[in-house]
Amino acid sequence: MQRVMCGGTSNEKPATPELQQLADSMKSAIEEATKKKYDVFVVKSYKIQTVAGTNYFIKIHVGGDDYVHARVFEPLPCSKDERSVHGVLENKSQHDELVYF
């Protein structure tokens, strides 16, 4: 039986300059999570999930055939919290689907 989540994710969308900017602002946190440095760091696509803020699931090309999927949480503007990385999946490929994690 498949579980349906409240506040499910959007369809996968092509990268935008704004999403690249968001990913760039979180690059050091993503590198810290993977314990790697990336010379290539290009957003290819993303999904969003609206919760008490927004989860961004971002597919990032990091060189060669390698991709990472990052989940970045951006809290509501009224909160005093800052955006943060809530997870990173490594060893992904161009064809791996972005899924909730």
Q: What is the pLDDT of residue 76?
A: 87
Which residues are registered as beta bridge partners of 55? 49, 73
Q: What is the pLDDT of residue 78?
A: 83
Which residues are registered as beta bridge partners of 89? 69
In the chain, the amino acid numbered 26 is M
When pLDDT is cut at 50, 70 and 90, the band that residue 52 belongs to is confident
In a domain, 17, yes or no: no
Q: Could you give the number of structural domains in the chain? A: 1
When pLDDT is cut at 50, 70 and 90, the band that residue 43 belongs to is very high
> Mean per-residue pLDDT for 61-89?
92
In a domain, 64, yes or no: yes
Q: Are the C-beta atoms of residues 37 and 63 closer than 8 Å to each other?
A: no
In a domain, 43, yes or no: no
CA–CA separation, 37 and 4 (whole Å): 36
The CATH number assigned to the domain holding 88 equals 3.10.450.10
Q: What is the pLDDT of residue 6?
A: 52
CA–CA separation, 76 and 44 (whole Å): 25
Q: Is the pTM of this model over 0.95?
A: no
